[in-house]
A = this chain, B = another copy of it.
Amino acid sequence: MTSVPEMRPFAESLPMALLQAREVAMRYFRPLLAEHDLTEQQWRVLRALTSADDALDAGELAARTLLLAPSLSRILAHLDERGFVTRTIDPTDQRRTLVELSPLGAKQVAQIAPESERLYAEIEAVFGDGELHALLESLHQFARKADPDPS
């Protein structure tokens, strides 16, 4: 009989709590993304480009979307096929790829955004506006302070 040393109860561990919370949050948005044939990761890329407002190079986009470069490459190929993004070589450094939202991509985001915001407001209403903002603040602080390898 091997006795297992003291460990935090599984369900109360931080990684599980974060996963569970993310799962709950994503349950609001998944049907919407599915309607528009977008994976969560594809939507992350479109959102990041929308927020950026002008072109981002692939490295910066990977960092902002928390995707690995090879994953991003394939996702961009798909989004490019569907006409949602354009990729151009950076004239000042030809190793870099500049990624931009195409007009069609912007239209796609514009179609999804209102419903997405409605769902977000629903979360705010159910959880409480103040609580949600406190949670967000705490999450951002955690990311800032606890990152063992801040890039």
Contacts and interface: CB of A to CB of B under 8 A. Distances in A.
A103 B17 contact: no
Interface residues on A, range: 35 or more
At the interface, is chain A mostly helix, strand, loop or mixed?
helix
Q: How many copies of the chain does the oligomer comprise?
A: 2
Interface string A8-38: 1111111111111111111111000000000
B18 A21 contact: yes
Contacts of A9: 51
A3 interface: yes
A132 interface: yes
Nearest to A137: B17
Closest 8 CB pairs of A and B: A10-B51, A18-B22, A17-B139, A2-B106, A2-B107, A10-B47, A21-B139, A127-B146
14 contacts: A7-B47, A7-B50, A8-B117, A10-B44, A10-B47, A14-B120, A14-B123, A15-B22, A15-B25, A15-B26, A17-B139, A19-B22, A20-B66, A20-B143
